[in-house]
Structure 1
Amino acid sequence: MRLPGSKSMTARALIISALADGPSVIEAPLRARDTVLMSAGLRALGVAVDTSEDDRWTVVPGPLRGPARIDVGLAGTIMRFLPPAAALAEGTVEFDGDPHARNRPLLPIVEALRSLGVTIEASPTGGLPLTVSGSGLVEGGEAVIDASGSSQFVSGLLLSAPRFTKGLTLRHEGPPVPSAPHLRMTTHMLRAAGAVVDESVPDVWAVEPSGMRGRTWTIEPDLSGAAPFFAAAAVTGGTVTLAGWPSDSWQPVERVIELFTALGAEVTRSEAGLTVRGTGTLRGISADLSEVSELTPVFAALAALAEGPSELRGVAHIRGHETDRIAALAAELGKAGAGVAEFPDGLRIEPRPLSGTAFETYADHRMAHAAAVIGLAVPGIHLADVGCTSKTLPEFPELWAGLVARS
């Protein structure tokens, strides 16, 4: 099967292209709610973003200006990547989004920008709605941040930092930053556009002031979006090949391979793509998912179907994602009959006979993925809202139906 491009790479390519010195082309981008809203937000700031072709978007930078109103939807990438760019605009830029978006953590990036001299009005909790009063430049310099709640706090600042007058030296202080592969993706993509980034000191990122080149970005297939399809192979004893997988990836493919192998699947890479084959055995695992926290719902679904208990830890920060994913998974897997114990940073899942239930999705695309995986093995699983998958993979219902029909 083929999947659209990575959401994470598409979002970063859009921001870097908008701040570059010349036009850029984004090949094989992801067209989904998050990236469509990101494109609209950049247009509101004065950037020409042409998304008329599905497989080739163009971005032509322009002077950033307000007044502008930006709808972030429920996307962490927009609410954390665009405010630093908006600080470079001349004028006022307002941010708001879906009701639950106001509950998603944003204060660390707000405080960091304020420490750099940016004028921001935020809610009493430091989140949305947000108003950035830009003066056309950000002086930059040094800032300290606690990014233990999301690696996007760091990425959001780094993506705009080359345009700061003095660049940026950003230091993290606090518990470990989750989703380290996403930080590496950010720094790799910045360097590919000509930025100078030093990350040789742990938890410190130094970005020199510089221009960034317009270029062509070729977006990899979305590894997070592929996870439920790989899980389908593991559950059913079938085989799924993700075509078009690059030999050298910026996504955490090695960790994903380790996890599916630990669960009992066989994973191979070839010219055909990345292939997962179910072996008829689904083992429980004890795993730190901090590097691939987006996949916690899918791995929790697999754990509920495994032959033994599992512990999934290291993902306390996903309580602040589209919903509190730890609490939501405990509730919904428990309704289906699994034995679930909730930790501050994860779950212990004890497989038990499961039965059909209405699986609430909480407007969260990853919860829908978990329900779909459970439904392969348990009759009577009904997704309350499969439409929420449009956030990152609008084609999910059709792709899933086609996969099941072929099996």
Structure 2
Amino acid sequence: MKIVTNIARAAAAAAAAFPRPSALAGLDLLASAVVIVDGTGHIVYANAAAENLLESSLKALSRQKLCSLFANPAELDNVIAQARAHKFSDLRQELALERAGREALHVHTIASALDEPSDNVLLELRETVQQMKLDREERLLDQSQVNKELIRNLAHEIKNPLGGIRGAAQLLEMELPPLHLQQLREYTQVIIKEADRLQTLVDRLLAPHRRPHIVGDVNIHEVLERVRSLMMAEFPSGLAIVRDYDASLPEFRGDKEQLIQTVLNIAHNAAQALAERIDAGDAQIVFKTRVARQVTLAKVRYNLALDLHIIDNGPGIPPQIRDRIFYPLVSGRDGGSGLGLTLAQTFVHQHMGVIECESRPGYTDFRILIPLP
């Protein structure tokens, strides 16, 4: 942490003395969020990690006071004031910065006064939950790989006996005595129909592994508009689907049909969870796209990534299954197959991405991160 601090301070001091665009370029390579505030508390610089952390661009942030972004600014304001007064060479503190409508931002904060200009303060903000997120993503990837192998092997083992059971039931039906044909045929039809139902389930489990990965240029907003039209056709009233798009997002190489299925599975689950709100007429799903910078996915660092959010105002995911929602056959509603999110996760992993989920009553956010060129 000390090395990172010294690098950031040196780069920021150089930028203050020589205000060239390239002077701050090195700070964009840091994993820590770096923010420089002036004597009035306004943001004069934020690196790429800070833009991700604060969920806004430098252009938008530069018009605001850093402390005004949070509902409890007193502690952060005090840290900045103490650093500006040179009470410490660098002041380190753990802060919980509250944000309206979202979970608090828990960060390890390092504040350092700059020599030039003398009233500027450099802040490093590192999420204390970031390492936990990386560990969780790694566990999810490992678990996904284990699930994939288990499902594939199990499905193949189930297919052969199913075919035999169905065939035997059909042969038995043909041998039934005419006198009791109608009465006994009911039982053979139960066997045949249940075998067909299990065959359909097995086919769905194997679908991601059978279908070839068809790669082409993908515009994520075309994907979202396709899903939106499908959802509005199924839920014509009571559900609003809000677009919040970043038009600057570039196209990327991917499988368009897989991505449509991924977004559709998540959005359809959300709509089913919103049943009561749809009846009341105030259900909402938000499709939000942004560019994430300097992100780590599966231990690989990417300069840019698609940051797609599918947000609903439903009741939230039950706590007892929140950590298992991507496992196969785990469902939060009666009659659910528990395969929609499993397939979505598989498709996103095939694009070298990850799916994260944050949920509480009234707010559920599925976040999809996929590397961009």
So what's the TM-score if we normalise by structure 1? Answer: 0.26
> Greater relative contact order (Cα 8 A, min sep 6): structure 1 or 2?
1
So what's the TM-score if we normalise by structure 2? Answer: 0.28
Q: Point out the structure with max Rg over C-alpha.
A: 2
Structure with greater helix share of residues:
2
